Amino acid sequence: MTIGNGQWALPSGVPVVRRGLCTLAQPSLRQPQRASRFRFMEATILLVKSGSLSLDNGETSMLLDGPSPLLAVAKNACADLQKLPGGPEQRFASQLIAIGPEVIREFYKRCEQEEAAAPPVDWCSPVPLDGDLADTLNHCVRGIEADGVSERMMMHRLVGLLLALADRGIWFARPASQDVGDLLTSLLSEAPARPWTAALAGRELAMSEATLRRRLAARKLRFDALLLEVRMHHAMALLQTTGWSIPMVAEACGYQAHARFSSRFRERYGCPPSHVR
């Protein structure tokens, strides 16, 4: 459920959302978990704290053992994931910050005089986690979780994290200006449970349904497919970070019938939601 400042309330570890800026999720699993064709919907900073994570995009594979380097993952990167518990508590634990396009645009605005030291991340790149970078990351995490940190101050912290990564040769691609896919994804992600239609989303974005569908088609996107992707992504996050029942997760993702939700989840990730935990 959302509260007045645009953040998510935090029952049982629900991901924290700073509207338009970022999302913080901290999965904790005791059982091995696989997910096929998982898509990172935003540029993402990921840290495995315990256990191991393997990613395979069909061409390249990567294995992270916690505690591990940071992993910078490009927006829309897609991979098969396998998470294995490990460490003293035999648990898989990770921390990820999905960074919104607004933050990356602000980063480029502040760094427009600088020349990138390397091409932008096109899939994922590991980054050694030295003390200064760990402090910068923790500063961001504390700000995301704290009610008293304003959106303006949170923007400064997130841009600071991107600057720290740039100093280490890691850059995310500059987002397209006013991309309709980004606008729609952000809108749907703020309230996945809402009974969305293309007409309703168009009104929220100040355009007609026909204009929305036309602009999506120009980007080879479809409203229904994007809505499903947002809801399944949200479902995966809730299953990994909360103790909610399957019907509760289904309702939070806009499904009244949890059997239909389970069917959609299996089709998307190759396993039923009950196997995620």
Give the pLDDT band (50/70/90) at residue 97.
Answer: very high
pLDDT beyond 60 at 71: yes
| Residue range 105-152, pLDDT digits in tens | 999 998 876 666 678 999 999 999 999 999 999 999 999 988 889 999
Fold classification of 180-275 is Arc Repressor Mutant, subunit A (1.10.10)
pLDDT in tens, 19-51: 778 999 988 888 898 888 899 999 999 999 999
Q: Considering the chain, what is the average pLDDT of its residues? A: 88
Tell me if the pTM is above 0.85: no
Return the domain boundaries, the chain: 11-167, 180-275
Please tell me the distance from the alpha carbon of residue 200 to that of residue 27, in angstroms, as a whole number: 32
Geometric angle at alpha carbon 44, from 38 and 47, rounded to 5°: 95
The pLDDT assigned to 113 comes to 62
CA distances from 148 to 1, 7, 106, 154 (A): 19, 12, 22, 10
Where would I find the beta strands (DSSP E) of the chain? 16-18, 22-25, 28-29, 33-39, 43-50, 52-56, 61-65, 70-73, 78-84, 92-99, 124-127
If one looks up domain 11-167 in CATH, what number appears? 2.60.120.810
